[in-house]
């Protein structure tokens, strides 16, 4: 009898636990996947194996995730594995496609337009209510609107909850209610809906129209849901309607990475999956292929004893496993997506904690260390500085600039929105219509050269260097293409990337918030600002809120592959001395050059000078 593990490359590429998930093709499956354990590899190989074995009709499989970038990555991986016709979408994209298809049949005419953002309409609603609000308050009101809808909280219930939730800014509860109701009325008058309405309206059509329900359930038979710990009640309700009582659903998630509770996400659906499906196949992925054993140990220490927390196991060499001779990502530097296979990660330097006198000294200290690492040969794109809030970013951009380090603020202008990138995408697509038989790199580089790109970068920082970095990022995408990729296919893939904002790596240090870093990884990660009032944030009150801050730090720690550096500053300008984060005390990491570990909260900082 032929051993499937060795005969099928889709299974041979997986470790034992990943393979269990991949072979569980029918019925409810829950994959509890810790950070860096290869969950994306496991679910894409599972889908591809289901298609290759004939268990799945690729046209009837739906892979769901939460960001356009993650959906684009799923599609790219499935295409390489031979399952490129499988639909991989965000919840909102899948719901919007159904809404646009069925609305003319159910309601007549085209579906209402979807608002790009709520701010303008909320501003008009405030004018209608004669309520004065500033821009930050409007953003908070928009968040309240989103939370209420995705949490499936009706207006009457919301009104009752406001006593404990409180209203944003200086608004009274009644002013907030008036503003929200005016916003909803304006939406109806303008025949528009917001993104949350898309989920609710699609669910409403399936519930109220048997013909719609029948067609939707006929279209998709098997569902895979990534990042299931982030699902909201509205998304879970829609998923249940899509399933229609059927049981072919695979969910993948990690309760320790639930960091969007404020936006309605709930890990309860992940942790309660076995309760809802007592016969479900439960798979635990705990072997971490991303980070060094030293980083894995720090992550485990932070989450020890927390509900639903997995204990990660570093993928160190094991003589008993013949697959661990080579590494899928053990090199010190490289691009995202490494470290998800069956290779091993070598030991690395111990994570450290640095103490500084004030925030400026901390930012300059971090920048100096980053400069030293780049001078030692570390590519800048493999380094990240992860912050708790956006307001910290200006200081780190300035400090990195002072030492000549290029930096990119994640969440600023999108890559494909840059003028030079739009020009390059347009030129490549036009050239691909005529060029068919040249090597891919020659075709792409010829187009980029016509726009001013050169093999060698220009000297120094500035706008010229920024333009070159953008064009060079497109040139480097050629290296990521499967063998035999044509110029036309490359151009089409570039268009898809532009539409989904699936950005390539740019040769610059990334500055990002901990929230926006989720799903990404770097060789070296710096997490500054670890003081009480910043992490955990000052407004985090109660055990649940503090636990969310803990999970946020966990996400930051587990983004690091080779090196991790944490830091804190004793003061912020002229303010009183601050205390190190309680989480630092729990991690018990020795500070370089200090006599002992980070002092406990409340201990005098001067004792360590």
What is the C-alpha separation between 479 and 240, in angstroms, rounded?
41
**Full DSSP string of 355-408:** EEEEHHHHHHHHHHHHHHHHHTT--GGGEEEEESSGGGHHHHHHHHHHTT--EE
Which residues are documented as binding site?
Answer: 33-40
> If you search the block for the tokens 């830091």, which residue do you land on?
567
139 membership: H or E segment, kind and range: helix 135-150
How many angstroms from the chain centroid is the CA of residue 462?
29
Concatenate the DSSP letters of all residues of 18-58 into one string. HHHHHH--SS-EEEEE-TTS-HHHHHHHHHHHHHHTTS--G
Q: Is the peptide bond before 536 cis (omega within 30 degrees of 0)?
A: yes
φ, ψ for residue 461, nearest 5 deg: -85, -175
* Annotated binding-site positions for ATP: 33-40
| Max Cα–Cα distance, the chain, nearest Å | 78
- Share of the chain residues as helix, strand and coil, in percent rounded to the nearest 5: 50, 15, 35
Both structure tokens of 6: 């060795």
Go through 442-454 and write b for each residue having 16 or more CB atoms within 10 A of its CB, e for each that does not.
ebbbebbeeeebe
Contact 128, 186 (CB under 8 A): yes
Distance CA 266, CA 276 (A): 15
564 in Cβ contact with 298 (< 8 Å): yes
Spatial contact of 302 and 30, defined as CB atoms under 8 Å apart: no
CB hemisphere CA count around 242 (13 angstroms): 26
């Amino acid at each position: 009898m032929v051993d499937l593990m060795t005969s099928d490359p889709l299974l041979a590429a997986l470790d034992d636990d990943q393979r269990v998930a991949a072979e569980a093709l029918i019925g409810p499956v829950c994959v509890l996947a810790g950070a860096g354990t290869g969950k994306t590899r496991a679910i894409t190989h599972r889908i591809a194996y289901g298609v290759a074995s004939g268990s799945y009709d690729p046209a009837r499989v739906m892979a769901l995730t939460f960001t356009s970038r993650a959906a684009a990555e799923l599609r790219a991986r499935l295409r390489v594995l031979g399952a490129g016709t499988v639909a991989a979408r965000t919840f909102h994209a899948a719901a919007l496609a159904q809404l646009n298809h069925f609305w003319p049949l159910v309601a007549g005419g085209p579906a209402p337009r979807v608002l790009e953002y709520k701010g303008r309409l909320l501003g008009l609603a405030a004018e209608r209510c004669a309520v004065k609000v500033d821009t930050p308050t409007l953003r908070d009101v928009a968040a309240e609107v989103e939370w209420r809808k995705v949490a499936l909280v009706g207006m009457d219930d919301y009104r009752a909850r406001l006593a404990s939730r409180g209203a944003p800014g200086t608004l009274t509860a009644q002013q907030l209610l008036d503003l929200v109701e005016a916003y909803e009325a304006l939406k109806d008058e303008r025949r528009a809906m917001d993104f949350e309405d898309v989920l609710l309206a699609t669910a409403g059509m399936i519930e109220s129209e048997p013909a719609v329900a029948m067609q939707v359930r006929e279209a998709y038979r098997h569902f895979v849901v990534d990042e299931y710990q982030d699902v909201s009640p509205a998304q879970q309700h829609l998923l249940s309607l899509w399933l229609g009582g059927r049981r072919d659903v695979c969910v993948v998630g990690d309760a320790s990475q639930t960091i969007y509770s404020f936006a309605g996400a709930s890990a309860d659906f992940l942790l309660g999956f076995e309760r809802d499906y007592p016969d479900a196949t439960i798979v635990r992925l705990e072997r971490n292929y991303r980070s060094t054993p030293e980083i894995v140990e720090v992550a485990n220490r932070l989450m020890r004893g927390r509900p639903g927390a997995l204990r990660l196991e570093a993928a160190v060499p094991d003589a008993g496993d013949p697959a661990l001779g080579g590494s899928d990502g053990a090199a010190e530097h490289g691009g995202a997506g490494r470290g998800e296979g069956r290779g091993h990660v070598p030991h690395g330097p111990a994570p450290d904690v640095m103490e500084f006198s004030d925030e400026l000294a901390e930012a300059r200290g971090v920048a100096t260390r980053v400069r030293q690492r780049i001078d030692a040969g570390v590519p800048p794109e493999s380094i990240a500085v992860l912050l708790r809030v956006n307001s910290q970013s200006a200081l780190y951009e300035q400090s990195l600039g002072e030492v000549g380090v290029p930096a990119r603020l994640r969440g600023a202008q999108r890559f494909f929105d840059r003028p030079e990138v739009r020009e390059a995408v347009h030129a490549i697509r036009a050239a691909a219509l005529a060029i068919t038989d040249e090597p891919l790199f020659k075709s792409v580089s010829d187009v980029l050269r016509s726009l001013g790109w050169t093999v060698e970068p220009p000297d120094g920082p500035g706008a010229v260097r920024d333009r070159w970095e953008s064009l060079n990022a497109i040139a480097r995408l050629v290296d990521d293409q499967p063998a035999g990729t044509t110029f036309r296919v490359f151009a089409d893939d570039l268009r898809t990337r532009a539409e989904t904002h699936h950005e390539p790596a740019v040769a610059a240090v990334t500055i990002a918030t901990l929230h926006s870093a989720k799903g990404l990884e770097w060789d070296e990660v710096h997490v500054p600002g670890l003081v009480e009032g910043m992490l955990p944030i000052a407004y985090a009150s109660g055990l649940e809120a503090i636990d969310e801050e803990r999970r946020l730090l966990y996400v930051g720690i587990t983004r690091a592959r080779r090196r991790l550096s944490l830091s804190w500053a004793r003061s912020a300008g002229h303010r009183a001395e601050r205390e190190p984060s309680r989480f630092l005390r729990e991690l018990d990491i020795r500070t370089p050059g200090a006599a002992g570990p980070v002092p406990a909260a409340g201990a005098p900082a001067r004792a360590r000078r």
